[in-house]
Structure 1
């Protein structure tokens, strides 16, 4: 940068934002993040079912004409990627990230398309989760210092729910990266108030909306802080108005073109239900409703409202309990209590500094949105609570030295170790307690579906039909790569049906399961493949049943 000083041109060195100690801490965090996610990626038996939809959309971006017809297309197939974005259920951010990784994998891998697309979904999610250490560290550093930033980023990487969800084929890694960048820019904008800072925060907020529609709530943090400081005249009101305007403009520059393209706020069914509180909720196919062999009432990773079990209860009370339960699980039960302790202990700091309020306001908005989701739709998942856990990590990290000070006052021997040593010991204890659960293999109980899919790919003929209520085998068989309903010939000479012989865990959203059970019970139905292959068919977990010609 150059400026004119005293009539002559002088070079002015730009202010550095990161120094050697920052780079050392970031390098250590990246190493931990890579190790955690690499372990989970190599110990994943099967990705989450939702990953199939995201991978399918990525493949359709590569070949739009292969996508199924949509009502918005007036019966035709999408002609290009814009048509696909306009009609697809999911926003384009994460599928485009998958496509980019998928293209890269194609240069080094000869695996089948079905396998490679799901690996790409996992890698896109995990790579974004590794990069997540940078904005989390910067948020903690801006608010509390380097060591707090390091502890916050480390905690989030090793917590079981965040680590596992950001290593699966789900949107969380990319969504959290975009939203956390927006949060970091929002904190920076209110601490060093400039029009450019609010504009950048708005652009990042709009980008997060292109991954998940709820990403727009990030603007509420810096926007509310700017409004409040303007009302209190701590900022000149014209400047506060200008900063809020820059935030809104930045958000709209990215988000509005997508809204105009699709003609609404979102295509996602849950999002439209939340926006229309008077519409009847869509039916939910939970494990209890769909799988008679299952003894539990819903997925272990979520809370579902059950009309029979929960009849007579207040749905609001149930929603609060469900949200608190999922938030606690996501934060590994210790992070939020520690964060609340720090917020109470540092309450005087909130009166003098605007930065922490950005996180608090966003967390409050997220909690209220989750509560509305639970009471309106009757469902809330630990996936939905991961952003809340992330927002709690800087405060939890700031609570460690405060807790260490309190422990030292009670136990003099501990006090002699020093606050830093004690706080570091507490951090190590949290990490060690989290890792055994975080590093468990993912979805090992459902690996049989992958084997069944590979068997079907090798043995099923094009003129034969397939019914797979669990979705995975049909994907690996190549039948649902471009359309969720798969490809079945109008007149098939035989039909294959994928069934679980002994379901060990519940499944959600299986509306096709009753049809599959009915067809598998027809006379002449026979098991043609089972997994594990080295056990008797009656003891197998997954059956492939065939009806019709051999």
Structure 2
């Protein structure tokens, strides 16, 4: 009963993936930095409504909308927004095992597909998706589902069922574009699939199949563009790229925020005469490096971090020994898709100067499929070698080296699940705990990173809204990392100027294993002192 076997396999894979996500979530010290932006957008949807937020912002809205829906189900207490974001991200990450298994089983067979899928669920980067509370897992689930439907439609392109599969593929592409712009790479994947099956189809079939996919895509993303009145080329590009304005991430737990100031008072200057700088990041800390050589170096390093060192040799063995699987249609498509996606990633990294292992997540199932095949080959080699060394051979009867190697590979992935994610950010958790204990719920906070807002639910401004925060008489505390004050930049000089004249240090928090400059400082803000120093048009010298 193949269908029953597949259902039991998927049930076990879902259980393992869910357990991995739960383990990492409960041990995580803090989410990723961009989680603050997504939660701020979800709060705006809660306050203004989905329709108004869609028209006002160009951010990809799917994940924040899901977070807002999950928050309705959560109990309204401290940290509810963060728990909702992590619950949504973890659920999507766990569900990814379904399209991964569906993608690999027709190519490799059920056994190798199950091994590759369990390794995928336990990869450190995948296991952390829920704890980081980002849109990556939502995008990955839809991306892999679209890819699996596309491969399935290729296998029976001449049959009527392929139209429904391509319709579903188009819907998933449209939804994935509402999560992250990387879903655009699915469009050349569709062209690649057509090129591989072009000789099997007549012109009328190509038109019908292409129309089904276009209908699914237009029904989701086209409707989104029409609803948001993004009809010009620039407006479409802004929404495709997910460009976010400052106010989409700068205000948290604020019921009725005023617009962020676009111009600063002329008397707000540092001792050096610089106008105050409230940019989100310090430009002196940028690690972006352009060029194709640098992009190739980053690709190699990030791909190694994604797949992990023990699996890389098995992946290479699988690639070299998988001649028969490469000759089948799914194998050829996935091999060419791997190459095409890698080239697109290299081009993007060379242009923007930045690459993360999460950009390579869609390649992980294919790479692990090769690694699963390589594990079977390595197990066969070990059995033959031991059979030549040990005598009599009856000693090996009943011994399954593939199962032993699979358990070994799974065991190598487990320790990473027990390591607390973002342990170096413990100082932010401790600062939030201090604020929850010593500050009033109505006190406003300026937090340059925004993490404290996820645990206190106090009205919080991030650094982009610094001008609005400093002008607000209800501001009582400023949270900043020590190293942000040490840089030689206009942003750092701004922080030193306002904190030196108008605030008092009341707490310093950091994890024992981090450097002292990574400590999180909490200042008590004095609005009267700030008004005396900067409120009458005099430049402080």
**TM-score bracket for the superposition, by shorter chain length:** 0.7 to 0.9
- Matching of residue 425 in structure 1 with residue 394 in structure 2: no
Write out aligned runs for 1:158-173 (5 A): 158-173=122-137
Q: Matched residue of 2:138: which SS?
A: helix
Native 8 Å contact 2:445 2:460 kept in 1: no
- Pair 1:483–1:117, CA change in 2 (3 A): farther
Q: Matched residue of 1:49: which SS?
A: coil
Q: Matched residue of 2:200: which SS?
A: coil
| Alpha-carbon distance between aligned partners in 2 of 1:507 and 1:181, rounded to the nearest angstrom | 46
Give the aligned partner of residue 490 of structure 1.
471
- Matching of residue 435 in structure 1 with residue 414 in structure 2: yes
- Matching of residue 305 in structure 1 with residue 285 in structure 2: no
| Alpha-carbon distance between aligned partners in 1 of 2:13 and 2:22, rounded to the nearest angstrom | 14
Give the aligned partner of residue 3 of structure 1.
none
Give the aligned partner of residue 43 of structure 1.
27
Give CA deviations for 1:234-287 in whole Å, capped at 9, x if unaligned. Answer: 3334323432332233222222222342623454796679xxxxxxxxxx9877
Native 8 Å contact 1:190 1:222 kept in 2: no
- Matching of residue 189 in structure 1 with residue 173 in structure 2: no
Give CA deviations for 1:416-473 in whole Å, capped at 9, x if unaligned. Answer: 6589922222222221112112331112221322332344356557997643222223
Q: Which has the higher contact order (CA 8 A, sep 6+)?
A: 2
Give the aligned partner of residue 68 of structure 1.
none
Residue from 344, 355, 358 that aligns with 1:383: 358
Write out aligned runs for 1:343-422 (5 A): 343-351=319-327, 353-412=328-387, 417=396, 421-422=400-401
Residue from 75, 78, 86 that aligns with 2:55: 86
Native 8 Å contact 1:207 1:255 kept in 2: yes
Write out aligned runs for 1:134-533 (5 A): 134-193=98-157, 194-230=162-198, 233-260=199-226, 261=228, 263=230, 264-267=235-238, 289-290=284-285, 304-305=287-288, 315-351=291-327, 353-412=328-387, 417=396, 421-456=400-435, 459-460=438-439, 466-475=445-454, 476=456, 478-480=458-460, 485=465, 488=469, 490=471, 492=473, 496-501=477-482, 512-520=491-499, 522-523=500-501, 525-531=503-509
1:494 Cα shift?
6.5
Higher-helix-fraction structure: 2
Native 8 Å contact 1:40 1:167 kept in 2: yes
Unaligned residue ranges in structure 2 (runs of 5+): 245-278, 530-541
Native 8 Å contact 1:48 1:169 kept in 2: yes
| Alpha-carbon distance between aligned partners in 2 of 1:348 and 1:91, rounded to the nearest angstrom | 41
Give CA deviations for 1:501-539 in whole Å, capped at 9, x if unaligned. Answer: 479xx999x99554223333x2574322333699xxx99
Q: Matched residue of 1:470: which SS?
A: coil
1:122 Cα shift?
0.7
Q: Matched residue of 2:132: which SS?
A: coil
| Alpha-carbon distance between aligned partners in 2 of 1:121 and 1:494, rounded to the nearest angstrom | 27
- Pair 1:187–1:524, CA change in 2 (3 A): closer
| Alpha-carbon distance between aligned partners in 2 of 1:539 and 1:83, rounded to the nearest angstrom | 42
1:191 Cα shift?
1.0
Q: CA RMSD in A?
A: 3.7
| Alpha-carbon distance between aligned partners in 2 of 1:450 and 1:151, rounded to the nearest angstrom | 37
1:40 Cα shift?
1.0
| Alpha-carbon distance between aligned partners in 1 of 2:478 and 2:280, rounded to the nearest angstrom | 20
| Alpha-carbon distance between aligned partners in 1 of 2:65 and 2:103, rounded to the nearest angstrom | 27
Unaligned residue ranges in structure 1 (runs of 5+): 1-15, 65-79, 274-283, 291-297, 299-303, 307-313
| Alpha-carbon distance between aligned partners in 1 of 2:65 and 2:348, rounded to the nearest angstrom | 27
1:334 Cα shift?
4.2
- Pair 1:241–1:491, CA change in 2 (3 A): closer
TM-score, normalising length from structure 2? 0.77
